[in-house]
Chains A and B, each alone.
Chain A
Amino acid sequence: MFSFIFKRLLQSVVVMLTVALIAFAMFRFVGDPINNMVGQDTSQADREALAEALGLNDPFIVQFGRFALNAAEGDFGFSYKYRQPVSKLILERLAATLELSFVAAVLTLAIGIPAGVYTALKSKGLLSKGIMTLSLVGVSLPTFLIGILLILLFGVILRWLPTFGRGEVVALGWWTTGFLTASGLKSLILPSITLALFQMTLIMRLVRAEMLEVMRTDFIKFARARGLPDRAVHFRHALKNTLVPVITITGLQLGSLIAFAIITESVFQWPGMGLLFIQAVADVDIPIMAAYLVLIAFFFVVINMIVDILYYAVDPRLRVDNA
């Protein structure tokens, strides 16, 4: 187990380096950072001096090398725009993104799995058909549209919920949380639903398909023949056997929830990392872009590792094979 985790962490370094290398190769096509960093009256000599001081005139491989060496020491440099350390900026935003992704993930599982089970068991019921139709909407509508529709309905027309931001937050050390105030919790509702909707429908459809599959297998028939009650058949035997692929997908989707919170964050002006990143792209704030991409790569590697470990826990056969 130990050597497995160690190997995975080594791999993560390679993944992060690759992501950073590709990112640096692309940054030259994003535009000119200097023009966003100075006013219109700033002389050309000053602009050139600034580009030189930032090392923007170096070949990208040199810029990449410098970034990788500093990053290895935990130094991600200073944001061009905010003139503050990138690590501090990202850390400030991390809490917002993680809280949003966490709530979205809970919603996804708490609604997606039961709905999947229900539609599999009562596949001919009216409610099931209704849920399936709704889930099509969730899969096919783009996130920003869902976000704007929710804002329009609950923020502008009904005025029940705030349309943007995180509300009041409480600081716990460096972590800020919106869970402890009424406005913070209210602010979470629309963005988390927007972010969760696609994943929710995905998980629901996956659970439903797996469940239908498992229900046809011999051991379920056998369980029924033994006269076990429906509840035990459905939940103890069938559901447990559908979980392996669900865990894989959920794990991967959790990474996507964090990474693709970008759109939800910018629709709701949610002050998370995604918003910071999208703003950095517009401003060509290279240090923020680089650090963010590397961090997301790291998240994906770690989540994949946890998923692999969970396999061992859920599926005894894997343990036997590797013993």
Chain B
Amino acid sequence: MKLRTGLLAATMAAAIAVAAPAQAKTFKYAFQGDLSSLDPHSLNESFLLATLGNVYEGLVLYGPNLEIMPGLAEEWKLLTPTTWEFKLRKGVKFHGGQDFTADDVIFSWQRTLSEGSDQKVRGGQIKNITKVDDHTIVVETPAPNPILVQDLPYLLIMDKEWSEENGATNATSAAGDNTGNYANLNANGTGPFMVESHKADVKTVFKKNEDYWKDIDGNVTEVEFTPIKEAPTRVAALISGELHMVYPVPVQDWERLDKAEGVKALTGPEARTIFIGFDQGRDELLYSNIKGKNPFKDQRVRAAFVHAVDLEAIKEKIMRGAATPTGLLAAPQINGFVESLNTPYAYDPEKSKALLAEAGYPDGFEVTLDCPNNRYVNDEKICQAVTSMLAKVGVKVDLLAQPKSKYFGKVLSTSGYDTSFYLLGWTPGSMDVENVLSSLIVCQDPENKKGMFNLGNYCNAKVDELTAAIGSETDQEKRNAMIAEAFKIVKDEVGYMPIHQQPLSWGVSDGAEVNQRADNGLDYRYVTVK
């Protein structure tokens, strides 16, 4: 009897062992924030778009290193400076079984322009789309646009039929009548993963789409995503072996991960640049003891500030050696990056003091630094370091560090740029320098939607002219020359104080391999579970 039970157990164990390879490979991970909606046009936010990029696809896709790869379009070419022809992929089906055709592309583009959409900026890059046949379209842009495809990975394509059937032809609005849109809680894309279940802020489960049009590198069949807000809980969940991956991991926890068994910190430079800006627009600073004039209008004062800040010390002491000090507002991963201008301003407090004296402020002055305390990696600590470094050259900085909702509520255009001196971070949505120039560097021009994040209104007519030309120049070499020229002017005039590219900080267990994309996006296509 005993022998038989033993035999039975052995046979069963063998059966399980044989069955194991065919079993589901589940990858579990956590992020600090939540997937607030499944509607790809509801919110233009990098986490939401990168995650939904596993379910929905654009005409082009991001590769593992943010390079542009063919997606739902197999190939494309420029017909005239303002028209492009896209050949769409044949035989692609949506998760619900519908065929992917030119109509879906046109529908999705129109949906990005619908009431409630937060993708109007992307949709606005296109003036018109005409259908040549079911798998050929001609896209017209309002002006020559050499980087149109750079903006297409996150213009995600939905099925026209499905959206119409479910009354989801408009994007899920944050206000108004169509909140509670079907597409907010349901998804039907062409991507390698399907949404199995979604409970906002609790858990979202993705399942592999076995009919995906291409083989993928990874081996996972199921992905479980849980938001975990508190960093210590996130890290504990990784070390305890409950999750394969968590991010972001606080920089100060890297050592702990290295010491713990079976997990490691995966780090690399993010495409996000952290920098400090000066109010150079007003005639008198809002928050300073200097009245009647604006010291930041004087290039020598700005230069004194940048030479007073020791970026290496910030890197070593605050970022545990993991940041990349920079001299430019665009990171190396960004299309159009200018290597030669990326050397940071030299740390030279003596020069800084001399410059301040020369500008008429031998004893420095007082100014308030606006800083978020929960938006970027160690944002408040960076501001504290800058404050103490500036104190050494006589500038008394009053630090106002606030949670991001308070901070952005104060400094952005909606509050009339209520700041004199601020810390901000930027990743261009299009991964191209043109976005950096037109958002951060050209003069404020609300009517033409330019310079909206140029909070201090740095303004140079030549740079504006170059930016406009860069936006429509199709010759790569000429374009690069103009980019370099524009950035050189900004650098020479000390328009900004670039700090560093902040580190990506993921915690990954030894049981999984992932590809860390520089926009902090996780692509399930490249996830392998052992």
Binding site for B on A (CB under 8 A): 30-48, 50-51, 53-54, 78, 80-85, 89, 92, 148, 151-152, 155-156, 159, 162-165, 266-269, 271, 275-276, 278-279, 282-284
Residues of B within 8 A of A271 (CB): 199, 201-203
> Which interface residue of A39, A151, A268 has the most chain B CB atoms within 10 A?
A39
Q: Are B180 and A279 in contact (CB under 8 A)?
A: no
Residues of A within 8 A of B173 (CB): 83
Q: Are A41 and B429 in contact (CB under 8 A)?
A: yes
Alpha-carbon gap, A247 to B115, bound state (A):
55
Binding site for A on B (CB under 8 A): 30, 34, 36-37, 39, 42-45, 118, 120-122, 172-176, 179-181, 184-185, 199-203, 226-230, 232-233, 236-237, 239-242, 374, 403-410, 412-415, 426, 429, 435, 439, 446, 449, 452-453
Q: Are B230 and A269 in contact (CB under 8 A)?
A: yes
Alpha-carbon gap, A284 to B402, bound state (A):
14
- Given A33-B405, A42-B44, A159-B241; A89-B439 close (CB under 8 Å): no
Residues of B within 8 A of A50 (CB): 174-175
Residues of A within 8 A of B413 (CB): 44, 47
Alpha-carbon gap, A295 to B220, bound state (A):
42
Alpha-carbon gap, A282 to B429, bound state (A):
24
Residues of A within 8 A of B36 (CB): 81-83
Q: Which of A40, A84, A92, A151 contacts B179 (CB 8 A)?
A: A84
Residues of B within 8 A of A46 (CB): 120
Residues of A within 8 A of B229 (CB): 266, 269, 275, 278-279
Alpha-carbon gap, A45 to B413, bound state (A):
10
Residues of A within 8 A of B237 (CB): 155, 163-164
Q: Tell me the smallest distance from the CB of A46 to a CB of chain B, in Å.
A: 7
Residues of A within 8 A of B30 (CB): 164
Q: Tell me the smallest distance from the CB of B238 to a CB of chain A, in Å.
A: 9
Q: Are B201 and A31 in contact (CB under 8 A)?
A: no
Alpha-carbon gap, A31 to B410, bound state (A):
8
Q: Which of A39, A81, A268 contacts B429 (CB 8 A)?
A: A39
Residues of A within 8 A of B435 (CB): 41
Residues of A within 8 A of B199 (CB): 92, 271
Residues of B within 8 A of A276 (CB): 201
Q: Are B240 and A156 in contact (CB under 8 A)?
A: yes
Q: Tell me the smallest distance from the CB of A26 to a CB of chain B, in Å.
A: 13
Residues of A within 8 A of B232 (CB): 148, 151, 267
Residue in A closest to B172 when the chains form the complex, CB atoms = A83
Residues of B within 8 A of A283 (CB): 405
Q: Are A30 and B230 in contact (CB under 8 A)?
A: no
Alpha-carbon gap, A275 to B37, bound state (A):
18
Q: Are A42 and B201 in contact (CB under 8 A)?
A: no
Residues of A within 8 A of B44 (CB): 38-42
Q: Are B180 and A31 in contact (CB under 8 A)?
A: no
- Given A43-B449, A47-B414, A53-B176; A284-B181 close (CB under 8 Å): no
Alpha-carbon gap, A311 to B184, bound state (A):
49
Q: Are B405 and A40 in contact (CB under 8 A)?
A: no
Alpha-carbon gap, A41 to B44, bound state (A):
8
Q: Tell me the smallest distance from the CB of A64 to a CB of chain B, in Å.
A: 18
Closest A-B pairs by Cβ, 10 of them: A39-B44, A32-B409, A31-B405, A53-B175, A35-B408, A78-B179, A41-B121, A31-B406, A271-B202, A83-B179
Q: Which of B42, B172, B200, B408 contacts A32 (CB 8 A)?
A: B408
Q: Are B403 and A156 in contact (CB under 8 A)?
A: no
Q: Tell me the smallest distance from the CB of A288 to a CB of chain B, in Å.
A: 11
